[in-house]
Structure 1
Amino acid sequence: MPTRSGVGSGAEMQVLGLCRFSYLGRGGFKVDHDSLEERRAFLYDPRRMDERFRYFEAITLPSVQAQTDPDFTFLIATGDCFPDIYMERLAALTADIPQTVIRRYPPMKHRQAMARALKDARVEDGAPHLQFRLDDDDAMGVDFVARFRQTARDLRPLWDRHPAIAVDFNTGYVFRAGPRGLEVVAYKYPYSAIALGVILQPGVQEGIMHHGHHKLWTAMPTITFPGDDMMLRGHNEFNDSRMKGGARQFDYQPLTPEQEVHFRARFGIDNARVRALFSGG
């Protein structure tokens, strides 16, 4: 795993990101299934997996790989029954991104499994610990890790007094992807799961997976940074939060040439590559 950077007085901060990738467990989806077998069939349906991999390759991983501060671990948690054909594909996609670590867990409650994944990867050395999460169809700004770490430094008097503090970057875009590339709408949303992190005091175990992301403000002090584009939220056919109907609709617009340059600079995303992947290329 990457080494960790210092934060004054010899203290260090481990930055650990979590991405659930088609983990088979109980809970964690707004769409219910009557059994694990039913959920397994849903998760590993070839059409769904093809879409997940397209988004992961075109959107999520470029934003991970382009981070200006490379000193973090990006933990990809999936199930111990994740089919071999998909495991090989996942390993190949992440082989050249040194921050990525893939871990497999048996079926259990979703939050329990994800909290265990974070705990397993955590280094306990008397230092503060920074956690964030990112879905497999979303992206974060290329300077998210750097800004998150700097904010932790700036907030030292607060985390000296509070077990946990949430840091929220609330500005960006909602998008969908297809053969025309990205189509987007500017978006501000508080406590999204994207570009949201938690600073934990040394030894504190109740982290980002112990509370719903939209309810973190009820459990700990928070600080919000509006302004710079930092989050990119995917909407697609298998987007769990939109499958029950009644979800908000957006007036998506294709990226302009100027926006294509901006998205490459802010998120590391190449719109030509998006068009190729979503055209079957």
Structure 2
Amino acid sequence: MRVQMLGLCRFSYVGLRGYQTRHDSYDERRAYLYEPGRLARRWFWFTQVALPAWQAQSDADFTLVVMTGPDLPEPYLSRLQQLCEQMPQLRLELVPPMERHLQACHAAIAPHLDRSADVIGHFRHDDDDAVAVDYIDRTRRDFRKVKGLWKAEGRLSLDYSRGLMMRLDGQGMQVTPRLCHNMGVALTVFLRPDAPETALHFDHSKIGMWMPGVAVTKPLMFVRSIHGDSDSGDMGPGQGWQMTPEQIDRQLWQRFRLRRDGLEQAARALPG
């Protein structure tokens, strides 16, 4: 059974729905998203936190669609185009502002669906989070173990629940180990190739309303960033678990290709 792994990452996309922070007009939304300091910070999160593990995936057979608007200010539009030229797994989709956010997400994903695949593993990825370097490989292997559940309904979620909550600003970094179910990051939604939905069509916090789900609690699989520009600014429900600072720093590098010192130094240079 061939699985296409297909993800969507929204980078400052000007849409009126789909986020917890809301605006009444496209102009208000655009002004908020395109504020120069905010764009500089989002570029930092995307390139310094999210991208390293995608570049280091042990299974390189995946597609991550980066969705933004055609009027994304320079130099960020050109930088995104250059990144997608350098990394074949990244595909840039310029989607005009749309009120119906799910329709916009589907417009970004649809050109990249492999209709010849047996199943599509859809995932969402926020531009400030990270998944482990073996996320794609483990997802494919673990799906094979539970594919009978998918065959019964044509829908299945596979959730990697063990992660790190990272608060990072000019004052330094705080990392909290956390076991959280269906956070959205490192959560894969398996659908048939002809399904009209993407991962964004299902509220990850209520995903059990639409499909059966499997939670995999090991190994460490995600980093979720919490900062002033976060759409959701808290850790949410979950259980803590213990790691020493040395273990955290070692796992940040081994699992996500992140270095504490480098991130803290770069964060200090960001505009406030």
Partners of 2:169 and 2:227 within 8 A in 1:
no
Match of 1:131 among 104, 108, 122: 122
Q: 1:146 aligns with which of 133, 137, 150?
A: 137
- Mapped to 2, the partners of 1:103 and 1:159 lie a distance apart of 29
Instruction: Please state how far the C-alpha of 1:182 moved relative to its aligned partner.
Output: 3.4
Aligned 8 A contact 1:126 1:203 in 2: no
Give 2:54's aligned residue. Answer: 64
State the partner residue of 2:28. Answer: 38
Q: Could you tell me how far apart the structure 1 residues matched to 2:231 and 2:198 are? A: 23
Greater than 4 Å deviation, 4+ residue runs: 245-248
Q: One-letter code of the match for 1:89?
A: R
- Aligned residue for 1:16? 6
CA 280–223 in structure 1, closer or farther in 2 if over 3 Å, else same: same
Deviations 1:95-154 (A, max 9, x none): 433211111101112221112212221011152111111100101111111111112222
Shift of 1:169: 0.6
Which position in structure 1 is the counterpart of 2:215? 224
TM-score, length-normalised on structure 1? 0.87
Alpha carbons 1:141, 1:229 under 8 Å: kept: yes
User: What is aligned with 1:272?
Assistant: 261
Task: Look up the match of 2:191.
Answer: 200
Change beyond 3 A, Cα 1:247–1:160: closer
Alpha carbons 2:64, 2:90 under 8 Å: kept: yes
Quote the Cα distance in structure 1 between the aligned partners of 2:42 and 2:86: 19
Partners of 1:97 and 1:180 in 2: CA distance: 33
In structure 2, what is the Cα distance between the partners aligned to 1:246 and 1:143?
24
Give the residue type in structure 1 aligned to 2:18: G
* Structure 2: tracts of 5 or more residues without a match: none
Distance 1:227 1:89 in 2: 35
**1:94 positional shift:** 4.8
- For the pair 1:182 / 2:173, whether they are aligned, the reply is yes
**1:245-256 equivalence runs, <5 A:** 256=245
Deviation digits for residues 216-262 of structure 1 (CA, Å, limit 9, x no counterpart): 111001000113211111111111113xx9989xx9xxx83442221
Return the alpha-carbon distance in structure 2 between the equivalents of residues 142 and 247 of structure 1. 24
8 Å CA contact 1:22, 1:43 repeated in 2: yes
Are the counterparts in 1 of residues 126 and 185 from structure 2 also a CA contact under 8 Å? yes
Segment drifting more, 88-97 vs 227-236: 88-97
SS of equivalent to 1:123: coil
Long gaps (5+) in structure 1: 1-6
Structure 1 residue 34: Cα displacement: 1.8
Structure 1 residues 21 and 186: alpha-carbon distance in aligned structure 2, compared to 1, 3 A threshold: same
Paired residue type of 1:214: S
Deviation at 1:179, TM superposition (A): 4.5
Q: Does 1:111 align with 2:102?
A: yes
1:240 match: secondary structure:
coil
1:279 positional shift: 2.9
How many positions carry a matched residue from both structures? 266
Aligned to 1:263: 252
Q: Deviations over 1:21-41 (max 9, x none)?
A: 000112122122121101100
Contact 2:114/2:193, CA 8 A, preserved across alignment? no
Deviation (angstroms), 1:158: 2.1
Q: Does 1:238 align with 2:229?
A: yes
Q: CA deviation at 1:201?
A: 2.5
Aligned mates of 2:250, 2:66 — CA distance in 1 = 29
Q: Select 2:150's aligned residue among 159, 163, 167.
A: 159
* C-alpha distance in structure 2 between counterparts of 1:258 and 1:93, whole Å: 32
Q: Distance in 2 between matches of 1:181 and 1:71?
A: 35
